[in-house]
Amino acid sequence: MQTARDLFSLIFKQEELTSEQLIRCELACSIALEAQNLPEQSVVRSMDVAQILSQLNMDEETLIATLVSDENLVNIYTSKMIEERFGKATSELVSGIRKLNHFKEFDINRRADDVQNERLRQMLLAMTSDIRIMIVKLAYRVARLRHLKYEDPVICHQIASETELIFSPLANRLGIAQLKWELEDLSFRYLHEDKYKEIASQLNLKRTEREAYINRTMDILSNLLTSHQIESTISGRPKHIYSIWKKMQRKKLPIDELYDLRAIRIHVDTVKDCYEVLGLIHSRWNYVKQEFDDYIATPKENGYQSIHTVIIGPEGHTVEIQIRTPEMHYNSEYGIAAHWRYKEGGEGKSVDKKLEKSISNVRQLLENTSDPEVFKEISTELQSQNIFVMTPKNEIITLRQGATPLDFAYNIHTQLGHRCRGAKVNGRIQPLSTPLKTGDKVEVLTIKNGQPSRNWLNPNLGYLTSSSARNKVKSWFNKQNREENIQVGEAIYHREIKRLHAESISLPQVLERFKYSESDSFFEDLGKSRINERQLTSAIQRLLKPQKKPEHQQKTFAFKHQELSNNGDEQNAVYVVGAVHLKTNLAPCCAPKFGEDVVGYVTRGRGITVHRRDCANILNLTHEELQRLIHVSWNKEHAEDPDYQASLHIVAFDRKGLLRDILNTLANLNVNLIDSKTHTDLQERTVDMNLTLEISSHIVLGDILDYIERIQNVESAAISRRK
């Protein structure tokens, strides 16, 4: 039976630990063993994960956190208990690991895309808070894949697919070759079992012959370097099945025709020695030019450095040779794990600032989004190849594959991109939409007062492939448009105020009516036509109405009136209590609508004028004039259709709470919503709504339109009665 001491010897190096660290590590091993003695076993044992991390030379704190993060210990050892035993930093690390492990890895009831998107979000957020959490999660996935053959085939395929899409690219991005190769090979084994076995069989078929050839070539190389007093370590380099398959796919070649099935690695002390060795090899054998890569001069984005060359070696066979220093090799094998350095200060330990900066952008992008398109773009970028191009001063710039000279310009500086009007690629003028290749030298041609073109944002024209560059162009236009729209909107506002003789209306009154806190945003939306002129006119007219003074003639309240109609039937629209045969007229000052709360005013010789109870003229009556008011009500038999249906079409700029505001407005108008269909354009951030309404006959369609158009972000609205 395994003891805590046995586990300790597998994971920790006692000679590197202080006495205090030794106690902490032994305690962590004891806790990990507790999980194995519980009735329900974990899918992945934390002790297996810790052994993988130990091979990456991870620090003592990470190994301890991994050991005590076993899912079976969550309810036994709380965060508080872990903090008491191991300290706050370890407790926070365990919480991060547990959070990722808590996310269900496979759910047959959820779409695979949804699961993968959420997985990617969770992992990248964890990575940007503490990169070690991401490294631990990668190790968990390696351990999971090692035991996957016992699982249901459906689950095997799902986990392998997720590994290929997310985990392997992340291991590559972090430069951890030890994890990357195993993640790729194991996932490939479950996704393409027949192809995996075929390649493995072909490799095994000539393994003895290939290894003998490699040994003979290494002897020749060793003698060559020794004769030039260069100390070196030479070894054969293992080939991984997934990388062989990818190269077969990319080059459309059978396995026997690949250049690098025979591979050798040379370690020398210095960078100078690397190039000296390269010179000796190329002077001895011919090399394949298209297979030469100098990753020392131009490192990969994940920090990988080495010289790669393929020679036509002894007996006419091709051999791939990699030349690097021991430090470069260590970095390539362990990636970011090899660079985990702490600095003392403040509470506990904090990661190097350069590392923090390199991952902060990912967090800013992911922290507040759930848009699936964002995750799709990130996943694509993780798996994409990068290119390396040069400035006129031979500085190396890393861009995404497919990047254009315009992407290059914006990568250098935003203003350089704005002023760009052309570019020279390798000394020749090329279109700004030209895809760049590794090794291109790019010179940006500018004009003094240049500015972006809207065509640059058209994806069909291919000017920009980088989302960062596109955002810079969009930001420029938004800024320019804002200033212009504010000016246009302000001009429209003052023109309407003058046309309606509404100088008595103040701007704050108008802002309050439209629910704006400051004028610039109001003028901008008016200039953009998010608020149309009809809405503005209606709002000003409504603000004017209460300010009209009642007209008096010989101290008697006199109303202009409008007879309902010469049609006798419509005369019965209003019922006057105790005087059903009196002539009635609707007052034009408030234009009461069927169903509104009304009151009658007895005029001198013109019958009864019907007003809304909240009419300004009624509210301003004198005490004597109030005696002329009588009770009136609408004759319900007068309505042709008690209820009918109408179609309301709304176009608006999408925002949080828009639909709620529309529904509340309809409810306040006593309008029922029968059906709704909406379409949202995620790219333009607009929404198109088609609503079917049930409306009482006393409600005027124009009033509904008026209220809907007042809602913030509504660009246009149209309503019609359905037949």
pLDDT in tens, 576-594: 544 445 677 888 887 776 6
* pLDDT per position as a tens digit, 559-574: 333 334 333 444 455 6
- Note the maximum CA span of the chain: 128
Task: Please provide the DSSP assignment of 228-282 as one string.
Answer: TT--EEEEE----HHHHHHHHHHHT--GGG-TTSSEEEEEESSHHHHHHHHHHHH
Mean of per-residue pLDDT scores for the chain: 77
Please measure the distance between the N-terminal and C-terminal CA atoms of the chain and give it in whole angstroms.
Answer: 84
Q: Which helix (H) or strand (E) holds 189?
A: helix 177-191
Asked whether the beta carbons of 307 and 274 are under 8 A apart, the reply is: yes
Q: Which CATH class is domain 4-200?
A: mainly alpha
C-alpha to C-alpha distances, 392 to 295, 397, 401, 424, 443, nearest whole angstrom:
20, 11, 20, 10, 6
Band (pLDDT 50/70/90 cuts) for residue 13 is confident
Among 98-107, 369-378, 443-452, 712-721, the range scoring the smallest mean pLDDT is 369-378
- Our measurement of the distance from residue 646's CA atom to the centroid of its chain's CA atoms, rounded to an integer in Å, reads 39
Give the relative orientation of helices 177-191 and 326-334 as an angle to the nearest 10 degrees: 40
Show the tokens assigned to 25: 């590590």
The architecture in CATH of the region 202-337 reads 2-Layer Sandwich (3.30)
44-53, 329-338, 420-429, range with the lowest pLDDT: 329-338
Q: Residue 406 pLDDT > 60, yes or no?
A: yes
User: Could you give the C-alpha distances from 349 to 90, 223, 640, 654, in angstroms and in order?
Assistant: 11, 48, 80, 44
The mean per-residue pLDDT over the stretch 268-281 comes to 91
Sign of CA dihedral 678, 680, 685, 688: negative
Please state, for a pLDDT cut of 90, what percent of the chain lies above it.
Answer: 17
The answer to whether 502 and 543 are in contact (CB under 8 A) is: yes
591 or 366, higher pLDDT: 591
**Region of residue 569 (left: phi > 0; alpha: psi -120 to 50; beta: else):** alpha
Portion of the chain with pLDDT greater than 70, in percent: 76
Tell me the pLDDT band of 14, cut-offs 50, 70 and 90.
confident
The residue with tokens 């004017």 is 544
- Residue 79, classified by CB atoms within 10 Å of its CB into exposed (0-12), middle (13-18) or buried (19+), is middle
Does the pLDDT at position 375 exceed 70? Answer: no
Residues 340-348: what's their mean pLDDT? 36
Task: HSE, CB side, 13 Å, CA atoms: give it for residue 697.
Answer: 11
* CA proximity to 587, closest of 572, 568, 574, 569: 574
- The whole-number average pLDDT for the span 467-487 is 80
The Cα 50–Cα 69 span in angstroms is 10
Q: Determine the pLDDT at residue 355.
A: 45
Helix (H) or strand (E) holding 613: none
| pLDDT band at residue 388 using 50, 70 and 90 as cut-offs | low
For CA atoms 701, 702, 708, 714, the dihedral sign is: positive
Whole-number pLDDT of residue 234: 93
In this prediction, residues 259-267 reach a mean pLDDT of 83
Amino acid at 554: Q
Is residue 300 classed as helix, strand or coil in its secondary structure? coil
- What pLDDT is recorded for position 451? 86
Please indicate whether residue 492 or residue 100 has the higher confidence score (pLDDT): 492
On the CB side of 477, how many CA atoms lie within 13 Å of its CA? 11
Please give the average per-residue pLDDT across 278-306, as a whole number.
85
Query: What pLDDT shows up at residue 721?
Result: 67
Average pLDDT over residues 682-696: 80
Q: What is the pLDDT of residue 369?
A: 44
Helix, strand, coil percentages, rounded to 5, for the chain: 50, 15, 30
Q: Answer with the residue of higher pLDDT: 675 or 699.
A: 675
pLDDT of 418 strictly over 90 = yes
Where exactly are the structural domains of the chain?
Answer: 4-200, 202-337, 475-546, 550-638, 643-721
Instruction: Report the pLDDT value the prediction gives residue 208, as an integer from 0 to 100.
Output: 79
Same fold, 202-337 and 643-721: no
* pLDDT given at position 712: 79
- Mean of the pLDDT values across residues 127-138? 75
Core vs surface per residue 303-336: b (16+ CB within 10 A) or e: bbbbbbbbbebeeeebbbbbbbbeebbebbbbbb
Collapsed DSSP state (helix, strand, coil) of residue 403: coil
What is the per-residue pLDDT for 304? 82
* Mean predicted confidence (pLDDT) in 261-276: 90
pLDDT for position 103: 54
535 in Cβ contact with 652 (< 8 Å): no
Bridge partner residues of 442 (DSSP):
425
Q: Measure the CA–CA gap between 647 and 676, rounded to whole angstroms.
A: 10
Q: Is 319 helix (H, G, I), strand (E, B) or coil?
A: strand
> Region 275-299: what's the mean pLDDT?
88
Helix (H) or strand (E) holding 629: strand 629-630
pLDDT of residue 445: 93
Torsion of CA 176, 297, 247, 400, to 10 degrees: 80
Q: CATH assignment of 643-721, given 3.30.70.260, 3.40.50.2300, 3.40.50.620, 3.50.50.60?
A: 3.30.70.260
Cβ count near 361 (within 10 Å): 11
Q: What is the pLDDT of residue 173?
A: 72
- Determine which helix (DSSP H) or strand (DSSP E) holds 129, and give its type and residue range: helix 112-129
pLDDT at 544: 80
51 pLDDT more than 60: yes
**Residue 84 phi/psi, 5° resolution?**
-65, -35
For the stretch 420-456, pLDDT in tens is 999 999 888 999 999 998 667 899 999 888 888 878 9
The listed range with the strongest mean pLDDT (101-110, 116-125, 262-271) is 262-271
Interatomic CA distance for residues 212 and 190, integer angstroms: 31
Mapped onto helix, strand or coil, the DSSP state of residue 598 is strand
Quick: pLDDT tens for 512-539.
888 788 898 888 878 766 676 777 887 8
Whose tokens are 């007996």? That residue is 315
* Cα–Cα separations (whole angstroms), residue 434 to 42, 404, 407, 437, 723: 53, 5, 10, 10, 56
pLDDT of residue 444: 94
pTM comes to: 0.46
Q: What is the pLDDT of residue 17?
A: 81
Inter-residue contact 456 to 464 (CB < 8 Å): yes
Judge whether residue 381 has pLDDT over 60. Answer: no
How far is it, in rounded angstroms, from Cα 462 to Cα 431?
10
644 by DSSP, 3-state: which? Answer: strand
Highest mean pLDDT among 313-327, 368-382, 553-567, 696-710: 313-327
